[in-house]
Amino acid sequence: MSADQADVDAIVSSLELELIDRNLYRGHPPYWENVRLFGGLVAAQAVAAAYGTIEDIHIHSIHSYFLRPGDPEIPVIYDVDRIRDGRSFATRRVVARQRGEAIFNLSASFHKVEDGYDHSIEMPDVLGPDEAPTAADFGLTERDYLPRNWQLNGIPVQMRHLAGPDIAPGTTERQSWFRINGSVPDDPITQRALLTYLSDFSLLGTAVRVHEPGFENIMAASLDHAIWFHREFCADEWLLYSTTSPSASGARGFNLGHFFTADGELVASTAQEGLMRIRR
C-alpha cells in the first residue's frame, strides 16, 4: 500500500465514529493532525455523526460554526440532537465537544430523493486537471499546499491551483482542482463527508489573497461554514473548486465556492466567513 493510500484510509477510518450511547459518538483524528484540529475534519466527523441517526435519506445542506480550536491530542465527542423526522425531510443538530466545552456546532438537513426541475450554472472555462500545473511546476511539493505544521508524511489530498500559490493581490477569484488522493468507498455518506473535509481547503485563502500573498501577516481562522449538496459525485475524482470573495470588512472575509466535476456538472456549493485579523 502506498503512503498516500494509507493516509486516505486514515481519513476514511476517522469517519467511522465510536458509538458511546444513543446520539453520542466519539471521533479520533488521523495520525498527522498537529497543533490544532483541521476544521474540515471536525465538520466531516460531525456529518458522519448526524448520519449515524439517519436511515435511507441523505444530507442536502449543512450550516455550522467553528467555536474553539480543537486539540488533536484528545478525542472529540459528538452529541446529536434529533430535532425533526418528517416524511421528506429530517433535521439534526450536532455539537462537538472537548473537555466539556463546545468547539463546533452544526445543523444538518436531510431530504429524500425527489424528481423536479433541473438547472445549474456553467463551470468556468479553465484548464482541465490533466493540463493544470502541478505543484512541481511552481517549484513546490504537494505538501506545501497543505496547512502549515499539519503532517510530515504522505498527502491525503491532491491539489492543482490554476494560478499557483501566490495570486496577485486584487484577484477576488480562484480556481483549483481537488481530489482525495487514493481510492475511497463510493457510498453517499462517505462521499459527502469527504467533500465536507475538502471544502475547508483554500476557501478562506481566497479572501486573504485579495490583500496578501500568504498568511504570514494575518491571523486567520474559519468562523462559519455552509455547504449545499446538489448532485452525486466521487471525492476521489477531480473536482474543480471555483471560489470567490465578494467582501472583506471588520477583520472578516466572506467567501463563496462551487464544486464541479471534470465534465462540468455542478455538485455542491459552499459559503464561509473567516477571521482575517492583521498582525500588529
Catalytic sites, residue numbers: 200, 222, 272
For residue 89, give Cα distances in angstroms to 53, 105, 111.
13, 20, 5
Contact 171, 210 (CB under 8 A): yes
For residues 173 and 161, what is the distance between their CA atoms, to the nearest angstrom? 12
The alpha carbon dihedral of 122, 125, 131, 136 has a sign of negative
- The separation between CA 157 and the C-alpha centre of its own chain, rounded to angstroms, equals 11
The alpha carbon dihedral of 158, 163, 164, 165 has a sign of negative
Output the CA torsion 62→101→98→89 (10° steps).
Answer: -20
For residues 94 and 49, what is the distance between their CA atoms, to the nearest angstrom? 7
In the chain the beta strands, taken as DSSP E runs, fall at 18-21, 24-27, 58-66, 76-85, 89-98, 101-111, 157-161, 173-180, 218-229, 239-249, 252-261, 266-278
